[in-house]
Structure 1
Amino acid sequence: MDFTFTEEQQAAAEAARGVFAGVAPDGVPSPALTRGAVADDFDRALWARLADADLLSLLLDAEYGGAGLDAIALCLVLRESAKVLARVPLLESCAAAAAVQAYGGQELKAGLLAAAGRGQVVLTVASHGRTGHDPAELAVTARQDGDAWILDGVQTAVPWAHNADYTLVPAHVPAHMPAHTGADRTLLALVPRVHESVVLAEQVSTTGERLAELRLESARIAARDVIDAEGAWEWLRRLLTTGTCALALGLGENVLRMTGEYTGKREQFGFPVASFQAVAVQAADRYIDLRAMEATLWQAAWRLASGTQGALPASGDVVVAKIWASDGVRRIVQTAQHLHGGFGADVDYPLHRYHAWAKHLELSLGPAAAHEEILGDLLAAHPLG
């Protein structure tokens, strides 16, 4: 495999660096000092700049005003966004639009994608299930009723749901449902925020951002707004997970940079603390974490982008990336807090924000031990050599 980025991918990353250059992560109040969420809405001004730079349409085809790029390009942009803790639904909206393009009907694509690429329509995804610990596709059931689908169930911790125009919701169609034969299957329903059968209850994330419990009470969704295609949810879930790993990498890189700058200036006994062996070894270990996170991320993104068949299914590469991202980002921020000393806990210094975001990403990805069990099952089912 060749991890050299194309000119188009590098141009996307360069454009992202330009857009995010003026974003200050310390401009948001500390969650610990704020009652409720830190803000009612995402950063609309930043969202407009992303749209102007054509970064919201990266994955869309030219007919929808997009660049026709792939998951690698999106991950490069997400990596830059995480360095400044950008408060925008970049991953969710781009991933949802990509799923609609890959699996949706022509009417849905024509009515939605161009507007999403221009930032005029904001999308998000319900991917955490009823409790955050159960499969998202089992939290909502769907049954067909004439030319529509009826959805019932609850999804928790839906990001940006209070502000997005539509939420892409995975729903379970049991095999015993009327007019359905064969095995259970999962469809994706595009649920509007304003709907008589949709109830949003406020939740607050570890980062202090506003989430929502999405409750569907016999919500009637037109068939044209439903994606009933095999593999659509699995494809979207892999893209979301890989994008989250990219966020963890970008966050970790900036935290290690901050740590290097601080320990290079902070002196003890007349010497910078960075020159002490105990400090240097810890920082070096975290650098190794970053390089492993980077290698496994690009492997997973490359598999998604290329569709290349390997000894293991693409889900195996995604699982490996999750293992390193989940454990790695936790170790990086913990070491940064330790090496910053008491200064790292100062809420006037942005490290506490990175720590909160890192914990949120770690929780979103899930524990590395659970992913290692999944990887073991995959290796047992697909023995190498």
Structure 2
Amino acid sequence: MDFTFTEEQQAAVEAARTVFADVAPDAVPSPALTPGAVSDDIDRPLWARLATSDLLGLTLSPEHGGAGLDPVALCLVLREAARVLARVPLLETGAVATTIDRYADPATAAALLPRVTRGELVLTAASHGRTGHDPADQAVTAHRDDTTWHLDGTQTAVPWAYAADLVAVPARTTDGRTVLALVPRTHEGVTLAEQYSTSGELLAELHLDAVRLDADQVIDAEGAWDTLRELLTTGTCALALGLGEAVLAMTSEYTGKREQFGHPVATFQAVAVQTADRYIDLRAMEATLWQAAWRISTSATGALPAAGDIAVAKIWASEGVRRVVQTAQHLHGGFGADTDYPLHRYHAWAKQLELSLGPAAAHEDALGDLLATHPLA
């Protein structure tokens, strides 16, 4: 069986590396500095280059200007974006656009998706619930009156909310179903309250007060929110992998040059063992990521639904990226705590990715529930 990536997927990686080649992670202020030092907007020039390189519509249908590739290709590009801490909502826009392509009515998809591929429309998702600990699809209520939907509720920690044009918001209907509302940021009844993440980025608490939406602004198809959540979680694993690989490379370079007792510290057994352990973590993160991305990219069936593979990938991503940056800071010594050194910012982003969409313990619980519901026997 051939496990290599397709030519199209490899071409997407090469295009992404070219686009991200000029991005300097140390050019972005550290979260240890004054909150608000980071711009509340995305990196617009970088976003334009991504659009020009046809990387914003990788998973979208060709009829909408996309490349028609699978989520594996999106994860490959996200991996490259995380290596340089690119300040663009590539994950959120890609996941929401893919969900629209699959589940929205044709007229809605035709109106929105070509603008996404051209970089004209920025999308994000509200996926952390009211407090960050409760299910996201229970934080907002929705009921329909003739052709109009009415939404009320609060979603916390919405990334890129101040820059996005549309926010995909899961909402629970009176009959217990989950719909996905595409809420314009400037819509009547929508308010944003500033929040800051551990990475120093500006998030928003999204309040919906009697928000009225037309029927074509709400995706009422079964499975839309589940698909969006799976794409966001798997994409977060890809970001964690790319960040971890960049940090390990940074650590290897530093320990290879830093000398103690006349020898590079990389030659010391204790240092070599720690970096080897982190390399193993990264390879486990990679294997579980591609398993999860493949499962949501195909109709493959197994003893467990795709959610099981996604939970395993997120467990490894959360634990692995935390161990990688902790070891890196330890082996860097004083440089690891220097806010002017890039590692400090990588550590902050790692903590954000570790906890985003649930830490390892939450996904261990979810995996246990899946095993109980779908016994391997």
TM-score by length of 1: 0.96
Show the counterpart of 1:173: 173
SS of alignment partner, residue 256 of structure 1: helix
In 2, distance between residues paired with 1:308 and 1:54?
28
Partner of 2:283: 291
Aligned-partner residue type, residue 138 of structure 2: L
The equivalent residue for 2:59 is 59
Shift of residue 348, structure 1, vs aligned partner: 1.6
- Letter matched to residue 359 of structure 2: P
Out of 172, 193, 200, the residue aligned to residue 201 of structure 1 is: 193
What's the CA shift string for 1:217-260, capped at 9, x where partnerless?
00001101110011110011001000000000000000000000
- Aligned-residue sequence identity (percent) comes to 73
Q: How do residues 53-92 of structure 1 correspond to structure 2 at under 5 angstroms?
A: 53-92=53-92
Report if the CA contact (8 A) 1:37-1:204 is conserved: no
Q: Which runs of 5+ in 2 are unaligned?
A: none
The alignment status of 1:308 with 2:300, answered yes or no, reads yes
Q: Which residue of 1 aligns with 2:316?
A: 324
TM alignment of 1:221-260, pairs within 5 A? 221-260=213-252
* Structure 1 segments of 4+ aligned residues over 3 angstroms from their partners: none
Q: What's the counterpart of residue 41 of structure 1?
A: 41
Q: Please state how far the C-alpha of 1:3 moved relative to its aligned partner.
A: 2.9
Q: Structure 1 37/215 Cα, relative in aligned 2: closer, same or farther at 3 Å?
A: farther
Cα distance in 2 for partners of 1:197, 1:172 equals 18
What amino acid does structure 2 have at the position aligned with 1:121? L
Aligned pair count?
377
Write the letter of the residue equivalent to 2:344: H
CA distance in 1, matches of 2:233, 2:29: 28
Instruction: Give deviations 1:44-101, integer Å, cap 9, x for gaps.
Output: 0000000000000101111111100010000000000000000000000111111001
Which letter does structure 1 place at the counterpart of 2:26?
A: D
Secondary structure (helix, strand or coil) at the match of 1:132 reads: coil
Do the aligned partners of 2:13 and 2:76 also contact (CA within 8 Å) in 1? Answer: yes
- Equivalent residue for 1:130? 130
Post-superposition shift, 1:196? 1.6
Q: 5+ unaligned residues in a row in structure 1: which ranges?
A: 176-183
Amino acid at match of 2:210: S
Residue 181 of structure 1 corresponds to none
In structure 2, the partner of 1:364 is 356
Cα distance between partner residues in 1 of 2:204 and 2:368:
34
In 1: Cα distance, 2:197 partner to 2:362 partner: 22
Q: Give the whole-Å Cα distance in 2 for the aligned partners of 1:381 and 1:146.
A: 38
Cα offsets for 1:119-163 (capped at 9, x unmatched):
101111000000111100000000101211000000000001111
Q: Is the 8 A contact 1:157 1:211 kept in 2?
A: yes
Q: C-alpha offsets along residues 196-229 of structure 1, whole Å, 9 cap, x if unaligned? A: 2100111111111111111000000110111001
Aligned to 2:208: 216
2:35/2:196 contact within 8 Å kept: no
Distance 1:329 1:371 in 2: 15
**CA deviation after TM superposition for structure 1 residue 37, in Å:** 4.8
What one-letter code is carried by the residue in structure 2 that aligns with 1:158? V
Q: Cα RMSD between the aligned structures?
A: 1.0
For residue 27 of structure 2, what is the amino acid of its counterpart?
G
Q: What SS does the aligned partner of 1:319 have?
A: helix
Instruction: Report the 3-state secondary structure (helix = DSSP H, G, I; strand = E; otherwise coil) of the residue aligned with 2:150.
Output: strand
The one-letter amino acid paired with 2:350 is A
Instruction: Indicate the SS of the match to 2:92.
Output: helix
Counterparts of 1:333 and 1:44 in 2: how far apart (Å)? 29
Query: In the TM superposition, what is the alpha-carbon distance from 1:2 to its structure 2 partner?
Result: 4.5
What are the Cα deviations for residues 292-346 of structure 1, in whole angstroms up to 9, with x where unaligned? 0000000000001112111111000000001000000000000000000001111
TM-score normalised according to structure 2 size: 0.98
Which residue number corresponds to residue 143 of structure 2? 143
| DSSP 3-state at the match of 2:32 | helix
